């Protein structure tokens, strides 16, 4: 091989190795930071999440305010939702 080509290949290999090391270090630090944040969240849980879980998902006021929908349609939709929830319980 010519000396210029050998030097260029050696420099390319060095850059490749350096790039791989930098990416590995960055990903390792990212995983470490995510693990640290998860550990801190286990020690100090967020109180706002507890209030969200205790609130009802919906209220019946939205159904009673809409006068355009027939009560038969509302009961059919309610029955379909109930049946869907019963068949897809986890």
Over residues 28-71, the pLDDT tens digits come to 999 999 999 999 999 988 776 666 555 556 655 555 555 688 88
pLDDT of residue 55: 59
* Domains in the chain, number: 1
CA–CA separation, 60 and 70 (whole Å): 15
In which domain, by residue range, is 51 found? 3-87
pLDDT at 89: 76
Mean pLDDT of 3-25: 97
DSSP string for residues in 8-52: HHHHHHHHHHHHHHHHHHHHHHHHHHHHHHHHHHHHS--HHHHHH
Q: What is the pTM of this model?
A: 0.48
Q: What is the CA radius of gyration of the chain?
A: 30
Q: For residue 70, what pLDDT is reported?
A: 87
Q: Which residue has the tokens 């009673």?
A: 64
What integer pLDDT is reported at residue 59 of this predicted model? 59
């Amino acid at each position: 091989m010519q000396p210029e080509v050998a030097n260029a290949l050696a420099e390319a290999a060095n850059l490749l190795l350096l790039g791989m090391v930098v990416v590995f270090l960055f990903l390792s630090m990212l995983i470490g930071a995510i693990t640290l944040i998860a550990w801190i969240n286990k020690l100090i849980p967020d109180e706002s999440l507890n209030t969200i879980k205790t609130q009802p998902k919906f209220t019946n006021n939205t159904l009673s305010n809409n006068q355009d929908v027939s009560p038969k349609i509302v009961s059919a939709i309610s029955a379909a939702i109930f049946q869907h929830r019963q068949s897809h319980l986890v």
